[in-house]
Amino acid sequence: MIQQLLLSVGAISAIASLLAILMVITDATIGNYGIVKLTINNNKEYEVKGGRPLLATLMDEGIFIPSACGGRGSCGLCKVKVLEGAGQYLPTELPWISEDEKKQDIRLSCQVKVKQDFRIEIPEELFNVKEFRGRVESIVDLTHDIKEIIITLIEPSEIEIRAGQFIQFKVPEYELTNEPVYRAYSVASSPSDKTRVELEIRLVPGGIGTTYVHKYLSEGGEVIFNGPHGDFFLRDTDREIVCIAGGSGMAPIKSILLDMNCKGVNRRTRYFFGARSKRDLFLEDTMAELEMSLPDFTFIPTLSEPKDGDNWEGETGLVTNILDKHLGKGSNVEAYLCGSPGLIDACVAILTKHRVPEELIYYDKF
């Protein structure tokens, strides 16, 4: 009996090894797709090396599709309309693609590979996204786990950005990654400062991008990023503005507020910021200055777990509860939210309860 069992296990192992060898051979022979034609928007043609993911292939041609997870299929940002060449949907794409998007041939560009002639459509503005080289001017601790990074542009020397948009930062090969990866970071500075970008980056323990920034990046070092990306920016209306953020979600909201200050926007604006305790709260001085200079702006920070030594006299509790308490009638409100998916989903529920129209709730989930 035991002998038979051992024989079966041996046979299964042998078949598995054979299959693995066959897969390697197949990849080395059939997997050589040669040069294929990539057509974009029916008017631009590229000869590209076949076999690589569409996202990486486009990047090689200087075309940068938004992505936040570095091509791991876990952010769902890299959607592209593929008219020809992509084949069946892959299981890794399905969680991100709605039935409606399937009808429009929307695919995850980091998952589909360019193995034959390909035809895609992308928004024309993506051709304006550029790759930038910059130098780290300063790195400052904003909290125990958030750093402010100021980058002065080298080439191109200026960036045109809308307040609230993000860039994709290139993390070079280092201890935690054997190939460069990209991570999305919102620009925290005012778009009027075209020669520099400021980022606010929170350390995710073990995270590839944030460990690099927090432990390896130094002042004077060179960095590469591409951008601008995203449609999280202030809409030009007369509605009241409600901003909500937590942690490094501060970054794009700060940029929006600085831009409003530059342009003299006088709409009623309330900014709810959630932190755990005093050590997670930052930029209070900047917010106080904005309260003085913007005509109708209130900063409402709240601590969910203030410590005894914090001497906190402001709002206490979850940002959702404080939002619920202050919001009032929301039908004339539009809202801008930035933070973790949990924070955003909970706040959207409160906003809609107060009759803020769902289509006027804009957010970036980090």
Q: Least distance (Å) from ligand FAD to the CB of residue 131?
A: 18
Give whichever of 53 and 247 is closer to ligand FAD, judged by the CB atom.
247
When CB distances are held under 5 to 8 angstroms depending on the partner's kind, the choice from ligand FES, ligand FAD, none that residue 76 binds is: ligand FES
C-beta separation of 194 from 114 below 8 A: no
Select from 38, 57, 58, 67 the one that contacts ligand FES (CB under 6 A).
67
Can you give the binding site for ligand FAD, defined by CB under 6 A? 68, 75, 166, 183-186, 200-202, 204, 206-210, 230, 248, 251, 364, 366
C-beta separation of 302 from 317 below 8 A: yes
Q: Least distance (Å) from ligand FES to the CB of residue 349?
A: 26
Q: Least distance (Å) from ligand FAD to the CB of residue 208?
A: 4
When CB distances are held under 5 to 8 angstroms depending on the partner's kind, the choice from ligand FAD, ligand FES, none that residue 259 binds is: none
**260 makes contact with ligand FES (CB under 6 A):** no
Antiparallel, parallel or unpaired: β 166-171 and 297-303: unpaired
Give whichever of 209 and 330 is closer to ligand FES, judged by the CB atom.
209
Q: What is the largest CA-CA distance in the chain?
A: 85
How many CA atoms are closer than 13 Å to the CA of 269, on its beta-carbon side?
Answer: 29
Q: Least distance (Å) from ligand FES to the CB of residue 57?
A: 13
Spatial distance between the Cα atoms of 202 and 210, rounded to a whole number of angstroms = 7
Give whichever of 110 and 343 is closer to ligand FES, judged by the CB atom.
110
When CB distances are held under 5 to 8 angstroms depending on the partner's kind, the choice from ligand FAD, ligand FES, none that residue 204 binds is: ligand FAD
When CB distances are held under 5 to 8 angstroms depending on the partner's kind, the choice from ligand FES, ligand FAD, none that residue 73 binds is: ligand FES
**69 makes contact with ligand FES (CB under 6 A):** yes
* Side chain identity, residue 262: C
**90 makes contact with ligand FES (CB under 6 A):** no
Looking at residues 104 to 123 of the shown chain, list those that interact with ligand FES (rule: CB under 6 A).
108, 110
Select from 40, 54, 58, 75 the one that contacts ligand FES (CB under 6 A).
75
**167 makes contact with ligand FES (CB under 6 A):** no
Give whichever of 71 and 330 is closer to ligand FES, judged by the CB atom.
71
Single out the segment in contact with ligand FES by CB under 6 A; choices: 10-18, 26-34, 63-71, 347-355. 63-71
**78 makes contact with ligand FES (CB under 6 A):** yes
Q: Least distance (Å) from ligand FAD to the CB of residue 366?
A: 4
When CB distances are held under 5 to 8 angstroms depending on the partner's kind, the choice from ligand FAD, ligand FES, none that residue 108 binds is: ligand FES
Give whichever of 118 and 273 is closer to ligand FAD, judged by the CB atom.
273
Count residues contacting ligand FES (CB under 6 A)? Answer: 12
Closest CA to 348 of 190, 242, 220: 242
Select from 31, 73, 172, 317 the one that contacts ligand FES (CB under 6 A).
73
Select from 71, 227, 252, 301 the one that contacts ligand FES (CB under 6 A).
71
Give me the residue whose beta carbon is nearest to ligand FAD: 207
The 3 state secondary structure assigned to the chain is CHHHHHHHHHHHHHHHHHHHHHHHHHHHHCCCCCEEEEEECCCEEEEEECCCEHHHHHHHCCCCCCCCCCCCCCCCCCEEEEEECCCCCCCCCHHHCCHHHHHCCEEECCCCECCCCEEEECCHHHHHCEEEEEEEEEEEECCCCEEEEEEEEEECCCCCCCCCCEEEEEECCECCECCCEEEEEEECCCCCCCCEEEEEEECCCCCHHHHHHHHHCCCCCEEEEEEEECCCCCCCCCCEEEEEEEHHHHHHHHHHHHHHHHHCCCCCEEEEEEECCHHHCCCHHHHHHHHHHCCCEEEEEEECCCCHHHCCCCEECCHHHHHHHHHCCCCCEEEEEEECHHHHHHHHHHHHHCCCCHHHEEEEEC
Contact set with ligand FES (CB under 6 A): 67-69, 71, 73-78, 108, 110
